Structure 1
């Protein structure tokens, strides 16, 4: 008798991570039901991934903040991967009001959790958080500090209210959004386990778009280094990264891993802008006039991130940074029309 594959609900399949999540699930034999925000998203996704046709059920949820938004789509689902979140593209900021950003994040997450509570088949709920929930916009713990899953960003909503700093507001919202998930589990003691994954900057190939006009922030950041904007690479401000495909693999592993860990850091290693441009100029010498020259500045990172739990608890292995950088650049050059 043929065993029917489990169904995984993926919220936000129209995004950078969501699209790779679907790819990873399909490659591991899962059935996928995905939600998307815009009615035209399925057409774009299927043009870029025709193999999804007939394999991925796509459901339009224009506003996941609406009460009971996920109640129907979660029926019969075995696992949930909650990726959907408010994002901004091409370096644009989503606004400096932390209350708005927080409300969007928390309402959607609470709706997904409450829906899962009503579906007895759900076994695990994987929530995508951020390393911003661990450390905030900077290291408040002293030079050389090693961040682990036990750490929490020390900033509060009051700190965000008193600041016009977009980065600070973002980190506070990520922290409070994730704490909503853990608080839900403590209060409701659901029949399913909740696991939060905490990645840093997410890089990797882009296939969910048809141009470079609406890149996610991480892809936009990378694109600026190789598209002719800079003569010299700017000072590094993002010190860690993960490949989107490795993060998607971590999501899949989290569904069935023999672990009770409530949160797991997903991080491939350190990052600096010179490391990126040196790798890209080697692989794409034809674009040397577009690729920023190394700045030669030493790293100012004063902390480390311990991602060993992702290997021991989930069995995750990370690909080399060169592969991540090469594939990211190739996909962006293709989207821009620079290569076929």
Structure 2
């Protein structure tokens, strides 16, 4: 029932990271459900491209320019008149040299600034934080066969661990838990008039909400670029090992964001949003079985229908299913829709 929604239909929701892979899908779901959206973007060009992508919604989507999401005064101005915030903007790159400056500080200060900006406006009732499976998983424990990970699990990494990390992957994982903990600390210490909801997705796959924002395939988000490169690498190419063996479709994740924003029971709750296990061999099998012949011939054959991956942890998203009403697409739908979309883009 929309009458019970925490955020009233027709009101304005601020979305940080709105031009990103997940953010654009979140904007689409919000618009489809009768909300107005204000996207925080880094440039006028990006903002205009975003608005053009959703032009059928006319004036329901606007944008404001903010080069740095940790810019408090700019973010406060953008948040004025909003009823909720989806905070997705956070660095995701391993091509870094200064872990603190390029990963940890943007994640930490970005979240802190979003929380402060929300506190500056009594109209804001909820902030949804996009965290990560990286904030759940303790990589020092290995693959943990027979272990079921849920939203009750937290990475033990600290800011100092990230700064002193031996490689960017550890620093990135630290940035996610540090950013998330900043939100929980704000709630417990400041007790603001708004509440939060935190989502922890694993690898995110699926088609783009729009190709309008895609300048070239080289600029695809990391997870989808990995799929595209594998799907076009050639039949004799070995199937690469699966590095992140749990996934969620971007469309299901976007729906989870929407529901986390409006469902009263999501207040100050954390959710694992994972569809379950997959392997790269399974993806290749699905693509070869379902793509057209001209496209399927470029997909690695590997060892068809055999799972040669080591045993690993599983995930339990029953809380998200029960409270948010999320359902999960199979990995086949995610990768097929993506690969066919990208072939159409280049042809």
Q: Does 1:235 align with 2:241?
A: yes
**Structure 2: distance between partners of 1:14 and 1:218:** 16
1:180-259 → structure 2 map (5 Å cutoff): 180-206=182-208, 207=210, 208-228=213-233, 231-259=237-265
Residues 333 and 156 of structure 1: CA distance in aligned 2, closer, same or farther (over 3 Å):
same
DSSP-derived class of the 1:121 partner = coil
Is 2:9–2:34's contact at 8 Å kept on the other side of the alignment?
Answer: no
1:272-311 → structure 2 map (5 Å cutoff): 272-284=279-291, 285-295=293-303, 296-311=306-321
State the Cα distance separating 1:168 from its structure 2 match: 1.5
Q: In structure 2, what is the equivalent of residue 264 of structure 1?
A: 271
Q: In structure 2, what is the equivalent of residue 98 of structure 1?
A: 99
State the Cα distance separating 1:253 from its structure 2 match: 0.6
Q: RMSD of the TM alignment (CA)?
A: 2.0
Which consecutive residues of structure 1, in runs of 5 or more, have no partner in the other structure? none
Q: Which has the higher helix share?
A: 2
Bigger mean CA offset, 112-121 vs 153-162: 153-162
Match of 2:70 among 65, 69, 73: 65
Q: TM-score under structure 2 normalisation?
A: 0.89
**Structure 2: distance between partners of 1:94 and 1:65:** 21
1:203-244 Cα deviation digits (max 9, x unpaired): 111223142121111111111111226712111111011111
**Structure 1: distance between partners of 2:114 and 2:163:** 27
State the Cα distance separating 1:13 from its structure 2 match: 1.0
**Structure 1: distance between partners of 2:160 and 2:298:** 43
Q: In structure 2, what is the equivalent of residue 86 of structure 1?
A: 91
Bigger mean CA offset, 161-170 vs 44-53: 44-53
State the Cα distance separating 1:42 from its structure 2 match: 2.5
Match of 1:154 among 148, 153, 156: 156
1:241-275 Cα deviation digits (max 9, x unpaired): 11111111011111121314521011111111011
Which consecutive residues of structure 2, in runs of 5 or more, have no partner in the other structure? 1-7
**Structure 2: distance between partners of 1:19 and 1:109:** 19
Is 2:72–2:117's contact at 8 Å kept on the other side of the alignment?
Answer: no
State the Cα distance separating 1:141 from its structure 2 match: 8.2
